[in-house]
Amino acid sequence: MTGKHTLMLIKPNAVKNGYAHEIFLMVHNNGFKILAQKKLQLSEREAQAFYRVHAGKPFFQGLVEFMTSGPIYAAVLEKENAVTEWRTLMGATDPAKAAEGTVRKKYAESVQHNAVHGSDSDENALNEIFFFFSAREIVNAGGDIYQLHDILKNEQ
C-alpha cells in the first residue's frame, strides 16, 4: 500500500462541532478515495500508544486527554502520493499558519484542537492504518466506500 495510502483522524472537537461530514466531503472532493472509515472513542492507553513518539513532551498529557475526550473518526485515504496530498489539504499543525482553503484553516481552533491528523510518512501511514484497521477491513473495502448517509446518520 506504500505511497498511495494515509491515515486520517477527525479529532473530538471537530466531531463534537458537527464538522465530520464536511471534512469527509472536502476529502472526497479533493480526489481521495475513502477506503475504510470508523467512528470510535480512544481509551487513555490507546491514545498514549498512538502518540508514543510525543511521550515526554510538555503537551503529551493534554494531547491524550483531548484525544480521549469524545468520539473520533479514523479513515484510510487512497490517492497517489497520499501522505503529502493529505498533509497539504490538512494545512499546518498550527491553524494560525494554515493556508486558506485547508481543513485546519476552516475547522481547527488551536494547535492542540486542530481538527484532524494525518500520517507524516509512508512508513508511519502503514503503522497508523493498522493501529485502527485490520487487514480484512481494508481489503474487503476494495474501493471507494464513501458513505455520506451513514456518516450523517451516525452524527444524529
Q: How far is CA 29 from CA 22, 24, 45, 69, in A?
A: 10, 9, 34, 29
* Closer CB to ligand CMP, 6 or 114, in the complex: 114
* Closer CB to ligand CMP, 78 or 128, in the complex: 128
Smallest distance, Å, CB 156 to ligand CMP? Answer: 27
SS3 call for 98: coil
Binding site residues, ligand CMP, CB under 6 A: 54, 59, 63, 93, 111-112, 114, 117
Instruction: State the cell numbers at 123.
Output: 512508513
Please identify every residue annotated as catalytic: 117
DSSP assignment string, 123-155? HHHHHHHHHH--HHHHHHH-S----HHHHHHHH
Report how far residue 84's alpha carbon sits from residue 134's, in angstroms, rounded to the nearest whole number: 23
* Closer CB to ligand CMP, 127 or 147, in the complex: 127
Smallest distance, Å, CB 15 to ligand CMP? Answer: 14
Smallest distance, Å, CB 56 to ligand CMP? Answer: 13
